[in-house]
Amino acid sequence: MASENASHIGHGVQSEIVISVENLAVGFGERLVIDGLALDVHRGEILGVVGASGTGKSVLLRTIIGLVAKKRGTVQVFGHDMDRLNAQRRRLIERRWGILFQHGALFSSLTVKQNIQFPMREYLDLSPRLLDEMAMLKLQLVGLKPEAANRMPSELSGGMIKRAALARALALDPEIVFLDEPTSGLDPIGAGDFDELIATLRNTLGLTVFMVTHDLDSLAGICDRIAALGDGRVLSQGPLEQLKAEPHPWLQAYFNGPRARASHVHSKPA
């Protein structure tokens, strides 16, 4: 699964494309939220997707994972056109990704440990001992204390919910993780820790990360590449420095506005 990718990402070396979206259109009723969007995600990179509210960042994520139906276009994951797969092969692909929903989406009637074990029980044939050990392992991988294992989701803080949900997303050792606003609702220190965690996991587990975010610090800190959405398509994509130089008014306002100046976007050496 893992390859020697951690070192060369972001340095212009072309690697395998794991997600390829072409000419995508998604809409609700008459209105098209996404119209003619094309985007590639490379193995082992952390891609940040940004855009003003309502530009279809979350819709794009949900379309790629198949929760929202598209009007036209193709979505290829690991080189397979998702429309052409039968249900069984689709499920095999779906096992290879994990999703962190914006509000965690932990099952409220299961403990944290049971939440992490749920996909393992469904898909893997593990002995009870190994099942317990793997759940505790994933829990600590995302920086939670073992004591959190037997708590119910309603007893967790916002940051712990995100971590527990990430542990569940990692339960099956996915190759791609989709993160929908992973740091929203976390304090800046918690958000920084979470960013660091994602970068560490990418390096140790060889993950590919597709991250929808508004957090300028995450973009500056851990994203290898950024795709900015607007007008239903990708306005621009590339490393942070490239996007900062774009003349598009929204990109200018976003990356060079007062909030950007306050964050690490500008203090980071180019």
CB-nearer residue toward another protein: 38 or 205: 205
Instruction: Please identify, using beta-carbon distances, which residue of 39 and 172 lies nearer to another protein.
Output: 172
Q: Which of residues 121-150 bind another protein (CB under 8 A)?
A: 124-127, 130, 132-134, 136-138, 140-141, 146
Taking the complex as a whole, the smallest distance from the CB of residue 171 to another protein amounts, in Å, to: 9
3-class secondary structure for the chain? CCCCCCCCCCCCCCCCEEEEEEEEEEEECCEEEEEEEEEEEECCCEEEEEECCCCCHHHHHHHHCCCCCCCEEEEEECCEEHHHCCHHHHHHHHCCEEEECCCCCCCCCCCHHHHHHHHHHHHCCCCHHHHHHHHHHHHHHCCCCHHHHHCCHHHCCHHHHHHHHHHHHCCCCCCEEEEECCCCCCCHHHHHHHHHHHHHHHHHHCCEEEEECCCHHHHHHCCCEEEEEECCEEEEEECHHHHHCCCCHHHHHHHHCHHHHHCHHHHCCC
Scanning 157-165, 167-175, 184-192, 240-248 for contacts with another protein by CB under 8 A, the matching segment is 167-175
Binding of another protein at residue 25 (CB under 8 A)?
A: no
The mark string for 170-209 relative to another protein (x by CB under 8 A, - otherwise) is x-xx-----------------------------xxxx---
3 contributes a contact to another protein by CB under 8 A = yes
Q: Does 120 bind another protein (CB under 8 A)?
A: yes
Site size for another protein, by CB under 8 A? 34
Binding site for another protein (CB under 8 A): 1-4, 6, 107-109, 120, 124-127, 130, 132-134, 136-138, 140-141, 146, 152-155, 170, 172-173, 203-206
